[in-house]
Amino acid sequence: MSGDGPSGSGGGSGTGSGHVWLVGAGPGDPGLITEAGLAALQRAEVVLYDRLAPHALLDQCPAETLLINAGKAAGDHVMTQDEINASLVEYAAAGRRVVRLKGGDPYVFGRGGEEAAALAEAGLGFSVVPGVTSAIGGLAVAGIPVTHRGVASSFAVITGHEDPTKPGQSVRWDRLATAVDTLVVLMGVGRIETIAAALIDGGCDPSTPAALVHAAATPDQRVAEATLAGVAAEARREGIEAPALFVVGDVVALRAQLRGGGTLAGKRVLVTRSRSQASTLVELLRAEGALPVELPAIEIQRRTDPAAVGRTARALSGGNYGWTIFTSTNAVEVFIDLLAERDLDARAFAGTRLCAIGKATARALRQRGLIADLVPDDATSEGVVEAMSTAMGQAAVAGATVLLPRAEGGRDALPDGLRAAGATVDELTLYLSAPPAEPPAEAMALVREGKIDAVTFTSSSTVKNLSTLLGGDLSALRDATIACIGPSTAETAEALGLPPNAVAAEHTVPGLVAALRTHLHSTQSEPAAQAEPGTAEATP
């Protein structure tokens, strides 16, 4: 297996023996791991992970993977370095596929070299999968480039772990002070004062821009900016703690322009969709400069009665349904999987027309080889009945037999509306969308501490389940902007005490993001509009 990694493969892995991937997880955002790193996690049998590696990445491992927290918070060693080395050797020697997951890059103050050396000594196979170091990538996300034409043509990454006032220093602050344009200090939060003093003593201008970036590239990111002389006091005032990057150099001043200025920039936006469905929303939010916080409020659990599924499958194949209505991508996935388990494929739908509520549902059908006959623009029950009537005439709805695969405990508005219009409706319960048993602790903490700026709800169940996760008390989100994908979701949010600020005009994920953007833009630009001269509201 050696040679699997992109670089630095060690020898010694014979057939049947294990292998260790030393994987850099990137600077904080789980999306910033490499493809090779992700692939290694997806095949791992054992993972030893660090505190700084984004824990959301662990969801990528198979369910049976052994996850070991080697997390080394300062002064609180869960495992010593010797124990980590020994454990890597032990699992690899036992023939396991092992990932050693580290924050940033494994070879930048990550002690990855020592771990690789221990494996090499034991004659075991290993590969290094480099990562984006926080020293470069973390600063970039915060709006600080380590080099910039005409501003900085060199940078150094330095440990702040040593006390600059003690003799026998390996770091020569006096020389670095004038030799390098951008200085990036890792592990230095506790010593900013002495480090800044050492740099000024060494000839660095006290007015050089400097900053501390806490938890870069995560929803918790915070920046304290000042001059080199004033940065320690500013960091204290801002309450900046580890982990943080300390950066000194003229490039810090570029942040004002490069931090990105979209209406969602720097906003923590809660994403409540199930993990498997959240990716588009997360990507769109990120593209707007937001910091998505994933708290999946929904987990899909199958709830089927085999006899009912069998009956329905026979009726469907027999051409008994004039219409089949899919109300969500989950309904598509679960129903088509159930048919496949009974050796039925797309041909089972030959005798029915297909209605998909929402473009995403239509897309899910298309991916399974089925093209919807009808995708109502208006996804409310009245809208669906109306669209069906238009498609085939009022009389035909009245006589139609409709199959409605659905969630347990879902809303009854649609079947009720169809029945009121004279249709016969067969409801088939497929799944329950329940709150997860173990919601991510970091996201829960951000919610509880009132640190969420905006919340996105993509269905009524996301609202209800979030409320359940929070013990029925949504008051921590009182000051957040509430955005809903459509009117029925908005109704549920309102009923549970979160009156929505923005409701998507187009009931899609891009529509939801657009509604959130428009709302925040209008609230943010109000003062500016008032100050504009020549308008009626202008004040002297």
- In 3D, which of 328, 313, 317 has the Cα closest to residue 274? 328
Distance CA 158, CA 161 (A): 9
The binder of ligand SAH chosen from 125, 138, 296, 322 (CB under 6 A): 138
The binder of ligand SAH chosen from 28, 164, 266, 415 (CB under 6 A): 28
- Bridge-based pairing of strands 97-102 and 46-49 is parallel
* 515 contributes a contact to ligand SAH by CB under 6 A: no
* 105 contributes a contact to ligand SAH by CB under 6 A: yes
Choose the stretch contacting ligand SAH; rule: CB under 6 A; options: 103-111, 309-317, 348-356, 509-517: 103-111
Give the residue numbers annotated as catalytic, written as ranges.
50, 72, 187
Distance CA 184, CA 175 (A): 15
Q: Which neighbouring-strand residues pair with 227?
A: 209
* 70 contributes a contact to ligand SAH by CB under 6 A: no
Distance CA 257, CA 260 (A): 7
Consecutive H or E run containing 130: none
Consecutive H or E run containing 293: strand 291-294
The binder of ligand SAH chosen from 88, 152, 186, 520 (CB under 6 A): 186
* 291 contributes a contact to ligand SAH by CB under 6 A: no
* 30 contributes a contact to ligand SAH by CB under 6 A: no
Q: Tokens for 177? A: 């002070």
By beta-carbon distance, which residue lies closest to ligand SAH? 104
* 130 contributes a contact to ligand SAH by CB under 6 A: no
Binding residues with ligand SAH: total (CB under 6 A): 25
Neighbours of 166 (CB within 10 A): 8
| Residue 477, φ and ψ in degrees, nearest 5 | -105, 10
The binder of ligand SAH chosen from 210, 216, 232, 291 (CB under 6 A): 216
* 191 contributes a contact to ligand SAH by CB under 6 A: no
The binder of ligand SAH chosen from 44, 199, 213, 502 (CB under 6 A): 213
* DSSP labels, 326-388: E-SHHHHHHHHHHHHHTT--GGGGTTSEEEESSHHHHHHHHHTT---SB--SS-SHHHHHHHH
* 110 contributes a contact to ligand SAH by CB under 6 A: yes
- Bridge-based pairing of strands 72-73 and 209-214 is unpaired
Binding mask 217-256 for ligand SAH (x = CB under 6 A): xx-----------------------xxxx-----------
The binder of ligand SAH chosen from 5, 10, 18, 104 (CB under 6 A): 104
* 146 contributes a contact to ligand SAH by CB under 6 A: no
Nearer to ligand SAH, 215 or 509 (CB): 215
* 335 contributes a contact to ligand SAH by CB under 6 A: no
Nearer to ligand SAH, 218 or 429 (CB): 218
Q: List, in order, residues 6 or more apart from 255 with CB less than 8 Å away.
A: 142, 143, 144, 211, 223, 225
Choose the stretch contacting ligand SAH; rule: CB under 6 A; options: 106-114, 284-292, 458-466, 497-505: 106-114
Choose the stretch contacting ligand SAH; rule: CB under 6 A; options: 132-140, 387-395, 453-461, 518-526: 132-140
* DSSP labels, 384-439: HHHHHHHHH-HHHHHH-EEEEEEETT--SHHHHHHHHTT-EEEEEEEEEEE--SS-
* 102 contributes a contact to ligand SAH by CB under 6 A: yes
Which residues of this chain interact with ligand SAH, rule CB under 6 A? 27-28, 52, 102-105, 108-110, 133-135, 138, 186-187, 213, 215-218, 242-245
